[in-house]
């Protein structure tokens, strides 16, 4: 089954996490690149001109702000992070940003999905499609994921990872994710007292 882009947030037995996976049929030549406080989705070397074919394929997919790891499938990552940094709570930052930016205006009306996990607080998932807006809290101690296609409502999942490397690997090949087709690249933020970042 093809779900397109997907993200997961919440808790494992070892800590909190925000994870992201690119699955793509149209633009598979992409990679994730990690920095101290963010992860970017970028075209692979030799495919830089793809950004002129589709403006939505390059963006920050994870951004750390304060004790929160924001994750999304587009430029909304930065806007959500800015709102949280200015003092807005996670739920409102997700809801306001998704409502304002709306779904992507491409041929598929691709939904914008987003999530955020706090090391000291809650985790939330959200989505805006051409006809709906959802922002939901992930139950304490649980993990959930959402995707741009098919699974467009938050789903609780058993997410098994003990660090950022394992979280990036799990959203690509772990139980409940390996069955989803066209995987390209992934990334994750994971932490207990502070965040660490990994890309795959």
User: Tens of pLDDT along 147-190?
Assistant: 999 999 999 999 999 999 999 999 999 999 999 999 999 999 99
User: Tens of pLDDT along 82-109?
Assistant: 999 999 999 999 999 999 999 999 889 9
Annotated domain spans of the chain: 6-199
The structure tokens listed for 111 are 């939904």
Give the CATH number of domain 6-199.
Answer: 3.60.20.20
Angstrom distance (rounded) from CA 176 to CA 185: 17
> DSSP label at 131?
S
């Amino acid at each position: 089954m093809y779900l397109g882009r997907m993200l997961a947030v919440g808790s494992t037995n070892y800590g909190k996490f925000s994870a992201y996976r690119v699955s793509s049929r149209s633009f598979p030549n992409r990679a994730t690149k990690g920095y101290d406080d963010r992860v970017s989705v970028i075209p692979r070397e030799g495919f830089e001109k793809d950004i002129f074919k589709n403006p939505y394929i390059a963006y920050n997919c994870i951004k750390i702000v304060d004790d929160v790891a924001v994750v999304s499938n587009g430029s909304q990552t930065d806007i959500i992070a800015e709102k949280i940094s200015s003092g807005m709570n996670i739920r409102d930052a997700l809801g306001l940003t998704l409502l304002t930016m709306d779904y992507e205006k491409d041929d598929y009306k691709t939904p914008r999905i987003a999530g955020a996990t706090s090391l000291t607080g809650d985790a939330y998932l959200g989505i805006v499609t051409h006809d709906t807006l959802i922002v939901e809290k992930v139950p304490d101690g649980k993990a959930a994921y959402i995707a741009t296609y098919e699974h467009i409502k938050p789903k609780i999942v058993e997410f098994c990872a003990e660090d950022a490397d394992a979280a990036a690997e799990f959203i690509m090949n772990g139980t409940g994710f390996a069955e989803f087709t066209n995987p390209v690249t992934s990334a994750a933020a994971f932490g207990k007292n502070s965040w660490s970042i990994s890309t795959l």
